[in-house]
């Protein structure tokens, strides 16, 4: 039985005061992190934020400039990659092209001189449902199959800690969704500790128990996916994890339960316990799907924020919902996601509308929102490389 075969539990990982400097730049400023045994932990961040460097430090492929790495309580900072009880599923899969699939999977077992390596390898291949392709070469497999072989090659060793370096980045959307579910299933089945590095916020939220959002070599915020989404602490998290409407203004009134700011002449209220900073100039935000659209000015209510009148400057229909871009004088543009459930107002381009949301859905950030790029679209599910290429193509097309 596969479950019994991989019954060994994962170990916890501790990073203590990690710093990594490369000639010319600092990849990781200062990182303290504890990942409990058996959890599925995701490191989420844009490219260049230091998440892959963190992974490589844990794998032993890089040495930290400062700090210690502990796996299951044992200090492994000074050990080499091949001495650590850690396996990696590489972004490129890095399946050995000169070996068959089964030889690839058995590679780690043979290095550790574990008996009946071949039958264990077959068992791991059965887990990822690829045992019938055991004699093929990796380059004869599709991307999704290669990804599963890479996964089998890593978990067959029953590592204390499994590192996943954007393993789904090269797959198309449908396959990626399927692999996300499979990976999560395997993690629950084998009970290993997974450390998953990704720039795909949806992937991180669907799969991980705990998500840490990394930016510029430091962790901005860490927590359960729902918690992070509901109450982002910084403007970076608010915009990287989903999208947000951010409003900046001076605090003009405080009650024991709420604080009010003046954002371009509009009064916006947030609950005190959902705001990180309570005085001075602060930024508050609300998720676009929590905002509702009104064709007429709604009645003032103490538990609702209302902005308006504004003008609809863009409408885009996406099946499940419709996205409205509303320009409000003194504030700028705000994004509204309206579910297409057949009730509620429908606005057309150029219509005058009011928007409102429940006070309890707002959040106050610890830092100020940057002035530009508030609505930089990051809901794209294509990988960063693909996005970069599309941008380049668009740029070349213009000139």
Beta-strand pair 210-215/40-44? parallel
**Pick from 45, 50, 60, 167: which binds another protein (CB under 8 A)?**
60
Restricted to residues 154-213, the positions that interact with another protein (CB under 8 A) are 157
| Full DSSP string of 341-380 | SS-S----TT-EEEEEEEGGG-EE-SSPPPSS-TT-----
Tokens 């949806």 -> residue: 202
Nearer to another protein, 94 or 277 (CB): 94
Binding mask 129-158 for another protein (x = CB under 8 A): --------x-xx------------x---x-
3-state secondary structure (DSSP) of residue 129: coil
Tokens 């990796």 -> residue: 138
Nearer to another protein, 196 or 287 (CB): 196
Kindly state the number of chain residues that form the binding site for another protein, as judged by CB under 8 A: 25
Question: How near is the Cβ of 59 to another protein at its closest, in Å?
Answer: 6
Question: How near is the Cβ of 7 to another protein at its closest, in Å?
Answer: 21
Nearer to another protein, 86 or 284 (CB): 86
Question: How near is the Cβ of 27 to another protein at its closest, in Å?
Answer: 17
Nearer to another protein, 61 or 277 (CB): 61
- Rounded to the nearest angstrom, the gap between the alpha carbon of residue 373 and the centroid of all alpha carbons in its chain is 19
Are 126 and 152 within 8 A, CB to CB?
no
Are 109 and 103 within 8 A, CB to CB?
no
Question: How near is the Cβ of 148 to another protein at its closest, in Å?
Answer: 16
Question: How near is the Cβ of 358 to another protein at its closest, in Å?
Answer: 49
Are 335 and 288 within 8 A, CB to CB?
yes
Question: How near is the Cβ of 156 to another protein at its closest, in Å?
Answer: 10
59 binds another protein (CB under 8 A): yes
**Pick from 3, 74, 78, 81: which binds another protein (CB under 8 A)?**
81
Restricted to residues 89-128, the positions that interact with another protein (CB under 8 A) are 90, 92, 94-98, 107-108, 111-112
Binding mask 285-324 for another protein (x = CB under 8 A): ----------------------------------------
Identify the CA nearest to 45 among candidates 179, 188, 216: 216
CA dihedral 366, 372, 375, 378 (to 10 degrees): -80
Sheet containing strand 332-339, strands side by side? 292-294, 352-358, 304-317, 321-328, 332-339
**Pick from 82, 132, 174, 279: which binds another protein (CB under 8 A)?**
82
Q: Which window, 5-13, 58-66, 239-247, 314-322, contacts another protein (CB under 8 A)?
A: 58-66
Nearer to another protein, 96 or 296 (CB): 96
Q: How far apart are alpha carbons 202 and 185 in whole angstroms?
A: 17
| Full DSSP string of 288-325 | GGG-EEESSPPPP-TTEEEEEEEEEEEEEE-SSEEEEE
Nearer to another protein, 59 or 219 (CB): 59
- 389: CB partners within 8 A, 6+ apart: none
Name the site residues for another protein (rule: CB under 8 A). 59-61, 80-82, 86-88, 90, 92, 94-98, 107-108, 111-112, 137, 139-140, 153, 157
């Amino acid at each position: 039985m596969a479950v019994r075969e991989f019954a060994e539990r994962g170990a916890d990982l501790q990073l203590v005061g990690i710093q990594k400097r490369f000639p010319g730049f600092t990849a990781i400023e200062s990182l303290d992190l504890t990942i409990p045994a058996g959890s599925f932990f995701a490191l989420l961040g844009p490219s260049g934020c230091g998440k892959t460097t963190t992974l490589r430090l844990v794998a032993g492929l890089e040495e930290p400039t400062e700090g210690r790495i502990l796996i299951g309580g044992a200090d492994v900072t000074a050990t080499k990659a091949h001495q650590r009880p850690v396996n990696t599923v590489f972004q490129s899969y890095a399946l050995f092209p000169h070996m068959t699939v089964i030889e690839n999977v058995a590679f780690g077992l043979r290095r550790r001189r574990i008996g009946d390596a071949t039958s264990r390898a077959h068992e791991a291949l059965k887990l990822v449902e690829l045992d019938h392709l055991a004699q093929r070469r990796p380059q004869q497999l599709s991307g999704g199959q290669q990804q599963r072989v890479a996964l089998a090659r890593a978990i067959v060793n029953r590592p204390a800690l499994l590192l996943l370096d954007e393993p789904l980045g090269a797959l198309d959307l449908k396959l990626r969704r399927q692999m996300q579910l499979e990976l999560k299933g395997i993690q629950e089945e084998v009970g290993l500790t997974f450390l998953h590095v990704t720039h795909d916020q949806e992937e991180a939220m669907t799969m991980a128990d705990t998500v840490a959002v990394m930016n510029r070599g430091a962790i901005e915020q860490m927590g359960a996916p729902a918690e992070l989404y509901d109450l982002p602490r910084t403007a970076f998290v608010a915009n990287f994890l989903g999208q947000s409407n951010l409003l900046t203004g001076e605090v003009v009134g405080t009650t024991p339960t709420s604080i009010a700011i003046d954002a371009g002449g509009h009064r916006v209220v947030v609950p005190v316990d959902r705001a990180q900073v309570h005085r001075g100039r602060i930024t508050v935000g609300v998720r676009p799907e929590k905002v509702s659209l009104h064709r007429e000015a709604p009645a003032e209510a103490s538990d609702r924020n209302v902005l308006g009148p504004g003008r609809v400057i863009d409408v885009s229909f996406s099946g499940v919902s419709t996205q409205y871009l509303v320009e409000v004088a003194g504030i700028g543009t705000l994004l509204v996601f309206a579910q297409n459930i057949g009730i509620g107002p429908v606005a057309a381009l150029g219509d005058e509308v009011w928007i409102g949301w429940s006070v309890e859905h707002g959040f106050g950030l610890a830092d100020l929102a940057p002035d530009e790029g508030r609505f930089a679209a990051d809901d794209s599910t294509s990988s960063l490389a693909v996005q970069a290429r599309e941008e380049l193509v668009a740029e070349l097309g213009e000139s």
